A = this chain, B = another copy of it.
Amino acid sequence: MERVPILKIGDILLVSIQVDMSDQTAVALQEDLAERIVDTGCHGVIIDITALDIVDSFVGRMLSTIASISKVLDAETVVVGMRPAVAITLVELGLSLNGIRTALNVERGMELIAAAHDDGFDDELEDEPDAETATP
């Protein structure tokens, strides 16, 4: 099974996804990332998807899961390098990657994480409607 490498750069973990994600690879990546966040105490995860031609619902869900896990471990997740065609397909599929932050490239992602970590980065996410507490 292929494992996606996780690179530590300063206070950030960088993951560049280049291979087709299988169930196993996705689960392994989530576990590895969670472990590395705890080991290193990093406050940010940048996921680069420059190499992906297609982001389907499986990958979309994986990104959401990673973002949720990271959030629980006090790390912000930013997805970078999305191709224009991928963005168009995502919207057409009705996948809006809720709760995931995006940036154009790694450098902007790093700025976003640095800024979010200074401010307390929960502010924006709190604005989303919460299905569980909404009145029927």
Residues of A whose CB lies within 8 Å of any CB of B are 2-5, 7-10, 14, 16, 18-19, 48, 50-51, 81, 105-107, 110
Contact = CB atoms under 8 A, between A and B. Distances in A.
Nearest to A46: B7
A81 B50 CA distance: 21
A11 to B, nearest CB: 11
What does DSSP make chain A's interface, helix, strand, loop or mixed? loop
A9 B107 contact: yes
Contacts of A18: 2, 4-5, 16, 18-19
Given A7-B50, A10-B107, 18 more contacts: A2-B18, A4-B18, A4-B51, A5-B16, A5-B18, A5-B50, A5-B81, A7-B16, A7-B48, A7-B81, A7-B106, A8-B107, A9-B9, A9-B106, A9-B110, A16-B16, A18-B18, A19-B19
